[in-house]
Structure 1
Amino acid sequence: MKHLLLATLFILFTSTATARDSFKICWSIYVGWMPWAYGAEQGIVKKWADKYDIEIDVVQINDYVESINQYTAGAFDGCTMTNMDALTIPAAGGVDSTALIVGDFSNGNDGVVLKGKDSLADIKGQTVNLVELSVSHYLLARALDTVGLSERDLQVVNTSDADLVSVYGTSDVTSVVTWNPLLSEILENSDSKLVFDSSKIPGEIIDLLVVNTDVLAENPNFGKALVGAWYEIMATMGARNDAATSAKTYMADASGTDLAGYEAQLASTEMFYLPKQALALTNSPKLKTTMQQVAEFSFDHGILGEGAPDAGFVGIETPSGIYGDSSNIKLRFNPTFMQMAADGKL
């Protein structure tokens, strides 16, 4: 009887744990993630959640890395982040995560800036301020490769993104690597020179909405509602009419700039307004190659965890194949829900 009671309690507990109707996602300020602010404010997310008889709370977190940490700790079911950070924080931390929406890739939104110098090669011997072990650090490494330099040829100083603009204004800081809108603000200085940007490595810094794989598997309507809402927002935003202007004006205000400033950031972002555009990148064999490069960089810099024996320690599943340990897959690029959007089946 005791065993029967325990079994019954276990069934009740697990049923309660898996049968969910309320979810939370978080986002931070970035040109490619501002649509979530608009979608929440305009009731688009609620509309799609209602369609599937669920609730989705959309929460802004002011600190980007902190938002990912909170997701990794289980405070949120989904979070906006780049492909590299998805690998090095939740996936490397053992949280099985799925890239539900491939929203865009940086096509100039991330850059290397020198003060009073015109060439990337001039970075040799300099001190470079950036958010260490972030996509800025990855961009720097890829930039150095193009001019035959390495990190041994300079000194990296870890600097919070909240401090980069003010730090750049001091006389002893001569180089920074950062992303928009900080990049645009720094480039307003007359002695600033953009010597390398992410347009030189297209498709490598990818902006995602990542969700917990187990939550998604147990609650597919959660994925359907998010993807449905996203592409409704994209349809509004990508049009050339007053509604699009209004939407982008809202996003500009919410991110601390004006419409012209936000449009400038969009110009250096390869937004995937249509699901077929996102699917083209997700299904491409290049994605697997990109993630291998990211994993190798992350391993070389010790951010796959102390126990990682090699760059393939964390398995990464893409439609064109798996990179890394197939028995330890913790990051998945799953095109299923984006394909449903493309097929009009949401």
Structure 2
Amino acid sequence: MIVSIRKAAMIAAMAGALLATACSKPSEEASEARQEFNIGWSIYAGWMPWPYAQQAGIVKKWADKYGIKINIVQVNDYVESVNQYTAGKLDGVTVANMDALTIPAAGGKDTSAIIVGDYSNGNDGVMLKGSGDLKAIKGKQVNLVELSVSHYLLARALNSVGMTMRDVKTVNTADADIVGAFATPDVQAAVAWNPQLLAMKEQPGAREVFSSADIPGEIVDLLVVDTGTIKANPKLGKALAGIWYETVALMQQQDEAGKKARAAMAKLAGATPEAFDKQLKTTYLYADPKEAVAATSSPDLVTTMTRVRDFSFSKGLFQNAESADAVGMAFPGGKTLGDPQNVTLRFDESYMQLAADGKL
């Protein structure tokens, strides 16, 4: 089974708050041209191209092209990987959009999302027992990892049928315990992500009533890097884009080479090839850089991040902020959201655009 990636954002935010004082917003002047970089990752279907690329020599190929060295570093715990990045121990990290906002960006670390890699297209779901109607969730207790993307998904699901979070009672349940909890008679509703979601679907009487496929493009997985570092070292961004698109193109192939690459990724993730392929089916990979640029430049991303930041602020994940506008975000075309004087999360399409233009 692939280890889960999205731990409670509350834990992450608390850790981020402790780190914030040590992680002042980097300035371009403070960053220097360097030759070696560390990029962190944790196990998730949409991020397995990174360790495979290292194993297959693709990382070295692109790093050598630009005269640099890139270390692809595994961190077993997802939140810990993001905290290490926030603390400056990693130059970049794989992270979901909500956590990029609530941990490093909200903590004051100027962060750039240079690769929009995929979105959850069914990897996250709302489960009910005994009914296939989402409205039947009203008044029930819902087990989930509170203040995580599961909590966000539940809020979006309820809104889709004219309800709010006040119509249910959430029960904080660790991702490691969610499958077992849902198997008990007392638990009638739950929200989870793969691989736990797949196991829950197999339980008698279980029905999925809403999933991330109903809100495509909202739970987005990114590669982010320190803004000062990438500005001082554009070769890093070019190499990372080259690595990503070469590797994803290979894993999309339906020939023997593609099958071998996916099997190797599955092994790195501790999964069988069959289980890994199931998770890929509910992960929409942006294999085409032109599509990734279009998604990053679309007004839909601003809408999504508005929803994400409003939800995060409502749950107290912006530390001591007085409004959801406290954390500024920048988007392609000069668009900003929130405080333009405090932009700490930037969606930078430039390296994906170089890949799309064949200029890497």
Q: Which residue matches 2:115?
A: 101
Q: Which residue matches 2:356?
A: 342
2:294 to 280, 283, 288: 280
| 1:26 and 2:40 correspond | yes
Q: Does the 8 Å CA contact 1:30/1:181 hold for their aligned counterparts?
A: no
Larger radius of gyration: 1
| Structure 1 residues 221-260: aligned runs within 5 Å | 221-260=235-274
| Structure 1 residues 257-268: aligned runs within 5 Å | 257-268=271-282
AA aligned to 2:174 is S
2:152 to 138, 150, 162: 138
Residue 67 (structure 1) shift: 1.4
Secondary structure, aligned partner of 1:18: coil
| Structure 1 residues 138-217: aligned runs within 5 Å | 138-217=152-231
Residue 168 (structure 1) shift: 2.5
Q: Which residue matches 1:317?
A: 330
Deviations 1:150-208 (A, max 9, x none): 11122212222222223323333222212112211221212221110011111111110
Q: Which residue matches 2:23?
A: none
Q: Which residue matches 2:342?
A: 328
Deviations 1:99-129 (A, max 9, x none): 1100111111111112333221122222222
Separation in 2, partners of 1:71, 1:184: 30
AA aligned to 2:310 is E
Separation in 2, partners of 1:62, 1:279: 30
| Unaligned runs of at least 5 residues, structure 2 | 1-27
Residues 170/95 of structure 1: CA separation in 2 closer, same or farther (3 Å cut): same
Deviations 1:319-345 (A, max 9, x none): 141111110000000011001111111
Q: Does the 8 Å CA contact 1:68/1:81 hold for their aligned counterparts?
A: yes
Residues 54/93 of structure 1: CA separation in 2 closer, same or farther (3 Å cut): same
Secondary structure, aligned partner of 2:359: coil
| Structure 1 residues 71-86: aligned runs within 5 Å | 71-86=85-100
| Structure 1 residues 11-90: aligned runs within 5 Å | 18-90=32-104
Residue 16 (structure 1) shift: 9.8
Q: Which residue matches 2:128?
A: 114
Residues 220/121 of structure 1: CA separation in 2 closer, same or farther (3 Å cut): same
AA aligned to 1:202 is P
Residue 298 (structure 1) shift: 1.0
Q: Which residue matches 2:22?
A: none
Of the structure 1 ranges 295-304 and 173-182, higher mean CA displacement relative to structure 2 is found in 173-182
Residues 166/75 of structure 1: CA separation in 2 closer, same or farther (3 Å cut): farther
Deviations 1:210-252 (A, max 9, x none): 1111111111111111111111101111222111111111122
Moved over 3 A (4+): 14-17
Q: Does the 8 Å CA contact 1:114/1:195 hold for their aligned counterparts?
A: yes
Residue 258 (structure 1) shift: 2.2
Of the structure 1 ranges 187-196 and 117-126, higher mean CA displacement relative to structure 2 is found in 117-126
Residue 149 (structure 1) shift: 1.7
Q: Does the 8 Å CA contact 1:30/1:180 hold for their aligned counterparts?
A: no
Secondary structure, aligned partner of 2:237: helix
Secondary structure, aligned partner of 1:203: coil
Of the structure 1 ranges 151-160 and 241-250, higher mean CA displacement relative to structure 2 is found in 151-160
Secondary structure, aligned partner of 2:260: helix
Secondary structure, aligned partner of 2:47: helix
Alignment identity in percent?
A: 55
Q: Does the 8 Å CA contact 1:316/1:324 hold for their aligned counterparts?
A: yes
